[in-house]
Amino acid sequence: MDMTVHGKNKWIRNSRLANTLIFCVNRNIPVISRMLMIVLHCDIFCRLPKSTYLPHPYGIVIHSNSQIGEGVVINHQVTLGGRDLTAESPNIGDRVYIGAGAKILGGISIGEGASIGANAVVTKDVPAGVTVVGANRHLSKESFYV
């Protein structure tokens, strides 16, 4: 499988810049990764699987304790972090789609194949295959990414 093109949506792919960012973050190359993060206005402090998709890698903030599954799509302005000054951070399952501007906060789990809508605020666990929009609102329709 080509790592730069998403399996279910051929329009989701990583740019050379996103691939370079993932490479540098995973191999802990401090100067280059920090320069890329400054240019892209992002803070990514956890390891990202090679199959992570960052179609627009701008303004992404990921807590150092976050766990990211395989084949996850993270759009621009996404925040994965703690809340209430705790070290708890989200665990993202495999093949999750996270829309632009989504905020996933606290020690919660996002199930495999879930979809998080644009600008959603998620503070509660999300079961596998569920679509979440708004503030923790689960839609009855199954996610496309299951």
Residue 85 — very low, low, confident or very high, per pLDDT cuts 50/70/90? confident
Percentage of the chain lying above the pLDDT 70 cut = 91
Domain 16-142 has CATH 3.40.225.10: no
The Cα 52–Cα 70 span in angstroms is 6
Better pLDDT: 9 or 110: 110
- Interval 90-94 mean pLDDT: 96
Percentage of the chain lying above the pLDDT 90 cut = 64
Token pair for 15: 């740019």
Domain ranges of the chain: 16-142
Single pTM value for the model: 0.88
Count other C-beta atoms under 10 Å from residue 125's C-beta.
15
The Cα angle at residue 58 between residues 33 and 61, in degrees rounded to 5 = 70
Q: Which pLDDT tens digit goes with each residue over 27-41?
A: 988 888 889 999 999
The Cα angle at residue 79 between residues 70 and 43, in degrees rounded to 5 = 85
| Predicted pLDDT at 145 | 61
